[in-house]
Amino acid sequence: MILPFLMIIFGSIGIINTPVKQAKFTIPNKSRITLSHTPPRSEKEAINWRNRRILNWSDFKGAPIESSDNAALTSTSILINYGYDENELSYQLKCIFYPHKSWTKVEKVYILAHEQGHFDISQLYTRKLHKALSEYKFRHATVEKDIQLIYQRITQEQAGYQQLYDKETNHSRHRDKQVLWQQIIEDQLDSLKQYANYPQ
C-alpha cells in the first residue's frame, strides 16, 4: 500500500514538479495506523498548513539559484499515506511547506503574498483530496489503483490551478489580479472548510 507523493515547487516566476521519496504504512485488521518510514530531514523541518500557518520571509531558508529568473521559489507537498484491510480504507494527509527548499532574492510584501497563495492552493487541493477519498466507495479488489487514480487526478488539477494563478497574476506583478486571486483562494478554502480536518 504505497503511494508516491508529489512535491510541487512554485516560484514567483516558473514552476517545477519533482517526485520525492515514497512513504508507507500498513493497517493490519483495522488496527491503528502504524507508520513504517522515517521522515527525511526536509519533512521533519516542514511547516504544516493545518493550523493556518502564515509564511514570512524567514521561512525561506534555501539558497537562491542566482541564475534563475525567479524572484522567489516556494516548495510545497501534499503528502498521503494510506492503507486498507478487507473492509475499509484509512489514510493520512499533510499539506506542508519546505523551508530549506524555498528561497527568495527579493523580500517584497506583494511577492510574499503571492508565495502564500501557492501554499494556500496546496491546502485547497489537500481538502479536495480528502473530499474525494471520503466519498470513495471502497472496492477491495481495485483499491490501490483507485486511490492512485484519485491522487493523480487531484495533483494534476492542482498543478494546472497553480499555473493559472501564476499566469493571471503574472507571478504577482499584476497587483489587482493578485488581490483578486487571494480572495478567490480564500473563498474556495471556506467552501471546503468541512474537509479541513482531514486525518494526519
C-beta of residue 81 within 8 angstroms of C-beta of residue 96: no
C-beta of residue 102 within 8 angstroms of C-beta of residue 62: yes
Considering the domain boundaries, does residue 163 fall inside one?
yes
- The runs of H, that is alpha helices, within the chain are 41-44, 109-134, 143-169, 175-191
Instruction: Count structural domains, the chain.
Output: 1
Considering the domain boundaries, does residue 82 fall inside one?
yes
Can you give the pLDDT at residue 27? 34
Q: Which residue numbers in the chain have pLDDT < 70?
A: 1-43
Can you give the pLDDT at residue 40? 57
| Domain boundaries, position 38 | 2-195
Can you give the pLDDT at residue 44? 73
Q: Phi-psi category of 155—alpha, beta or left, where left has phi over 0 and alpha has psi -120 to 50?
A: alpha
- Judged by DSSP in three states, 72 sits in strand
Considering the domain boundaries, does residue 150 fall inside one?
yes
Considering the domain boundaries, does residue 139 fall inside one?
yes
Does the reported pTM lie above 0.85? no
What the block records as the C-alpha cell of 97 is 511547506
**What confidence tens digit (pLDDT) does each residue in 42-86 have?**
667 899 999 888 999 999 999 999 998 889 999 999 999 999 888
Can you give the pLDDT at residue 91? 94
Considering the domain boundaries, does residue 24 fall inside one?
yes
What the block records as the C-alpha cell of 162 is 497553480
Considering the domain boundaries, does residue 58 fall inside one?
yes
Can you give the pLDDT at residue 51? 82
Considering the domain boundaries, does residue 200 fall inside one?
no
Considering the domain boundaries, does residue 110 fall inside one?
yes
In angstroms, the CA 87 to CA 160 distance is 34
